[in-house]
Structure 1
Amino acid sequence: MLEPTAPSQADAPAVALGPTALVLGAPSALGVWVPELGFAVLPLVFIAGALAVTLGAAGIHYARRGIGRAWIALTGTVLGAVGFFGVVSLFLALGA
């Protein structure tokens, strides 16, 4: 007979925050520093960077409580910040 299983902390949706931030942050950082991509992907880089920073910060918060991995969330947050602030600094430089 099958035994009932109770959900553990590893089954929590918060576990996915860090990897999602990493998946959004990596292309965001890459989109800023590869000039061949041009201005076509800058809005996507901006949005992906902002989402990576937000989800990564939430992932770090939950990782401190033992749910998820902190290094994945931190890496996604840093890469997202590079992409987000890269686009912001580019727009500020072009606007000045």
Structure 2
Amino acid sequence: MMGQKNKAKAYWKENIRYVLILLTIWFLVSFGAGVIFKDELNGIKVGGFKLGFWFAQQGAMYVFVILIFVYVRLMNKLDKKYGYED
């Protein structure tokens, strides 16, 4: 029984680590690129739009959707690693 508890704790700890890393990336892209580094990024144009503006308007959403898929993939691997897959 104790082995199962340790396995569950290790699983949860690794899960939280993934979440914190992915949320940090999302924060840096949405707040960092869209607000903090907007002026520096606006010097670069993509498709006729300033890069800072693009990140603030659409880029952060694209990155968020990509991070969802990354999280799903990471969790599928984690489930297999700890024997929780269906």
Query: Normalization by structure 2: what TM-score?
Result: 0.37
- Structure number with greater Rg is 2
Question: Which structure has greater strand proportion?
Answer: 2
Query: Normalization by structure 1: what TM-score?
Result: 0.34
